[in-house]
Amino acid sequence: MAEVLLQTEGLSAGYGEAVVIHGVSLRLGEGQTLALLGRNGTGKTTLINTLAGVTRQHGGSIALAGQTLNKLAPHQRAAAGIGWVPQERNIFKSLTVHENLTAVERPARAGSKQAWTPARVYEMFPRLAERKGNLGTQLSGGEQQMLAVGRALALNPRLLLLDEPLEGLAPIIVEELLRAIRRITRDEGLAAIIVEQHPQAVLAISDEAVVLDHGTIVHAEKAQALRAQPEVLGRLLGVAR
């Protein structure tokens, strides 16, 4: 069994006084990928944002590699090993592709196989290499998403948080991103939590799966086992997939 990297216990959080997620307990091992599924409005993004440190934590605990994150600001969580790719991407649009990467670049962590440098990001995403002098405003949606992932990698994280990375992208870009995420996790050994509205696609590259409803975990299973049960997916997500 993989050594535990991320652990939450009884996690409750939301925005201001509003509590959106209730008593969420998760464990994710080193190098494992978790598919975080659920209907719209069930708390998936809130959970990702809570791990990244941008919500109000009302209760419970978050630990990464044994370090408690509860009171750490987002930039401190990044330093601890969390790479966050929000749904809005949040790239620096007034900076070039290369400047986006070098602005956040951190040295490799002890025990890492190899540092994520801008050069390695370009090798992963050749489109970014071709556009490294372009401003963020000059990139397509797919290129912006690649840059958002690449910028998170430049932090040399231990855990990637990906919030709907495939949303609104052309099928060819979706396939390119899925290949990259599969390589990052399975070959490079990073752990990841992926929120996605395309369950079959994300389950295909994940180890574990969790389904949220009304801010609580209502189903947890091995990703491949859940992928093989479309009728269960349809019941849990309210759609035929």
What pLDDT is attached to residue 109?
79
CA pair distance 118, 219, nearest whole angstrom = 38
Instruction: Name the percent of the chain lying above pLDDT 70.
Output: 98
CA pair distance 238, 67, nearest whole angstrom = 37
Domain enclosing residue 196, as ranges: 4-237
Position 145, amino acid: Q
Q: Is pLDDT at 86 greater than 50 in this prediction?
A: yes
Average pLDDT, integer, range 72-93: 95
CA pair distance 239, 106, nearest whole angstrom = 41
Choice among 19-28, 107-116, 128-137 with the minimum mean pLDDT: 107-116
Phi first, then psi, for residue 208 (nearest 5°) are -125, 160
| Cβ 139 vs Cβ 97: under 8 Å | yes
Mean pLDDT computed over every residue of the chain? 94
Cα dihedral value 91, 69, 45, 8, nearest 10 = 150
What pLDDT is attached to residue 2?
75
Confidence of residue 21 (pLDDT cuts 50, 70, 90): very high
What pLDDT is attached to residue 110?
74
Domain count, the chain: 1
Q: What is the pLDDT of residues 39-65, one digit of tens each?
A: 999 999 999 999 999 999 999 999 999
**Element housing 64 (H / E):** strand 56-64
Phi first, then psi, for residue 153 (nearest 5°) are -65, -35
Q: Is pLDDT at 240 greater than 60 in this prediction?
A: no
Instruction: Name the percent of the chain lying above pLDDT 90.
Output: 90
CA pair distance 215, 42, nearest whole angstrom = 5
What are the strands of the beta sheet with 56-64, ordered from one edge? 18-29, 4-15, 56-64, 67-68
CA pair distance 174, 94, nearest whole angstrom = 25
Average pLDDT, integer, range 225-236: 94
What pLDDT is attached to residue 241?
42
**How do 56-64 and 33-37 pair as beta strands?**
unpaired
Comparison of pLDDT for 112 and 1, the residue scoring more: 112
**How many CB atoms neighbour CB 205 within 10 A?**
20
Average pLDDT, integer, range 1-16: 93
What pLDDT is attached to residue 181?
92
CA distances for 34 relative to 26, 44, 63, 128, 151, angstroms:
10, 12, 16, 27, 21
Confidence of residue 202 (pLDDT cuts 50, 70, 90): very high
Confidence of residue 239 (pLDDT cuts 50, 70, 90): low
CA distances for 78 relative to 53, 62, 64, 105, 175, angstroms:
10, 14, 11, 11, 27
CA distances for 204 relative to 44, 130, 182, angstroms:
19, 30, 9
Q: Is pLDDT at 198 greater than 90 in this prediction?
A: no
Average pLDDT, integer, range 117-132: 96
Q: What is the pLDDT of residues 129-175, one digit of tens each?
A: 999 999 999 999 999 999 999 999 999 999 999 999 999 899 999 99
Q: What CATH number is attached to the domain comprising 102?
A: 3.40.50.300
